[in-house]
Each structure stands twice: as structure tokens, then as C-alpha cells.
């Protein structure tokens, strides 16, 4: 990828001020299209540095009950890619904040990777997180993302071994998504020791 992306520029800006990034998440279409935009405006006004836009999927394997329920309600209300692109377009008219699409591989695959990445780049998306995209199956995905200057944000977990961690880091751009706990997303009461260990080992 030539040059830098909005995501990389944001981290450089924060680093120059010795600050960390506040990355926020919202499910597109929940509770409806109008309110999703209001939520995102609120996140921007509240100081978010990067926003992840979760596009709903019918089988969100990596998500806990809260996001699963939001995704189901969004899909029930008819959320589709057209609505997603309209939302991104409206955000881009108001803000230059880095935007990351978070969804599942099946949606990208059925659209055709190259076509999909071109469309989201034109809409104003800067990076993509696909929790079920493995590094072993990512060749065409990476090729399409790089040809359209989209950051590919891969996931690692506390039990990712050192060799595989290295492979994933080499293919990740934008930032690395370190899953904090085993299992799905959801409410946590404390930070586990294995999470602290994973942070230290990954940072090395």
C-alpha cells in the first residue's frame, strides 16, 4: 500500500501527542438508519478517534448476545448494503474520522472481493475487520484490499502461537485486533491475567 491511510495518520497524530486511540463500535441499522447516524455523530462529538461500523450478519459467530440481538433487529428492519453506503456517505459529508467496516467474510465473498473493496473505498471506508477470515485463506482478500488501499485488520487471540502471530502481524495494516478474552464478545467484570500476558507477548 502506498502512502498512509486515515487510520495510520490518526495513530501518528495521537502518537505525536502521546495519546492512545479511542475506537468505538456501532451496529449499522440499529435501532434504525436515522438513529445509527445520530449515534455515530454522538461518538464523533464525544471524542472517538476511529469508528467501527458493524454490518449485521445472520450468523455472527464472534459476537456476544448484545451485538447478536442488535444485528438481528437491524436485519429484521431490512438493513442492506445500500443503506450502509448511504450511511457512510452521510458521515463522510460531515467528518474525516477513520471508518472501519466490521463484518463477516461471506458478505464480502458473495459480492466479489475486488468489487466490494472498490465500492467501500469509494464510499469512504478505510479498513476492514472480518473475524472469520483466516490468514491461510486470505490471499485473494489481501490482494483486493491492497489494490484498493484498504487496511486489513486481522484478529489474534491470547492463545495464538508465536509463529502464527508473526504471520498475522506481517499481513495486518492499520492496527492489530487483539481479542481480550476467550469466547465471544460481551460484558466483562475484570481483566484476566492471560489478557495481560497476551498484550505483553504481542507487543514484543
The string over 97-133, giving b where at least 16 C-beta atoms fall within 10 Å of a residue's C-beta and e elsewhere, is bbbbbbbbbebbeeeebeebbebbeebbbbbbbbbeb
Given the residues 33, 49, 52, 151, the one annotated as active site: 52
CA dihedral 159, 146, 140, 96 (to 10 degrees): 70
Q: How far apart are CA 88 and CA 101, in angstroms?
A: 10
Given the residues 13, 19, 59, 63, the one annotated as active site: 63
- Residue 10's DSSP bridge partners are none
Domain chopping of the chain, boundaries: 6-203
52 flagged as catalytic: yes
With contact defined as beta carbons under 8 Å apart, do 100 and 7 qualify? Answer: yes
Per-residue pLDDT of the chain (204 residues; tens, 9 = 90+): 445 799 999 999 999 999 999 999 999 999 998 999 999 999 999 999 999 999 987 765 666 677 788 888 888 989 999 999 999 999 999 999 999 999 989 889 888 999 999 999 999 999 999 999 999 999 999 999 999 999 999 999 888 999 999 999 999 999 999 987 766 666 667 778 888 888 898 988
From 164, 117, 161, 171, select the one nearest 139 (Cα to Cα). 171
CATH code, residues 6-203: 3.20.20.70
Q: How far apart are CA 106 and CA 112, in angstroms?
A: 10
Amino acid at each position: 500500500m502506498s502512502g498512509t491511510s486515515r487510520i495510520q495518520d490518526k495513530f501518528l497524530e495521537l502518537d505525536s501527542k502521546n495519546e492512545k486511540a479511542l475506537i468505538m463500535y456501532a451496529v449499522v441499522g440499529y435501532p434504525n438508519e436515522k438513529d445509527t447516524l445520530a449515534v455515530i455523530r454522538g461518538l464523533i462529538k464525544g471524542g472517538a478517534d476511529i469508528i467501527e461500523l458493524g454490518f449485521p450478519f445472520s450468523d455472527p459467530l464472534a459476537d456476544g448476545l448484545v451485538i447478536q440481538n442488535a444485528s438481528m433487529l437491524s436485519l429484521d428492519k431490512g438493513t442492506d448494503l445500500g443503506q450502509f453506503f448511504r450511511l457512510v456517505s452521510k458521515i463522510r459529508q460531515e467528518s474525516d474520522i477513520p471508518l472501519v467496516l466490521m463484518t463477516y467474510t461471506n458478505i464480502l465473498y458473495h459480492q466479489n472481493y475486488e468489487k466490494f473493496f472498490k465500492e467501500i473505498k469509494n464510499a469512504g471506508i478505510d479498513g476492514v475487520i472480518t473475524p472469520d477470515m483466516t490468514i491461510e485463506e486470505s490471499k485473494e482478500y489481501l490482494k483486493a484490499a491492497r489494490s484498493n488501499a484498504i487496511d486489513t485488520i486481522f484478529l489474534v487471540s491470547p492463545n495464538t502461537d508465536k509463529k502464527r502471530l508473526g504471520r498475522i502481524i506481517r499481513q495486518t495494516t492499520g492496527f492489530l485486533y487483539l481479542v481480550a478474552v476467550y469466547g465471544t464478545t460481551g460484558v466483562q467484570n475484570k481483566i484476566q491475567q492471560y489478557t495481560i500476558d497476551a498484550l505483553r507477548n504481542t507487543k514484543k
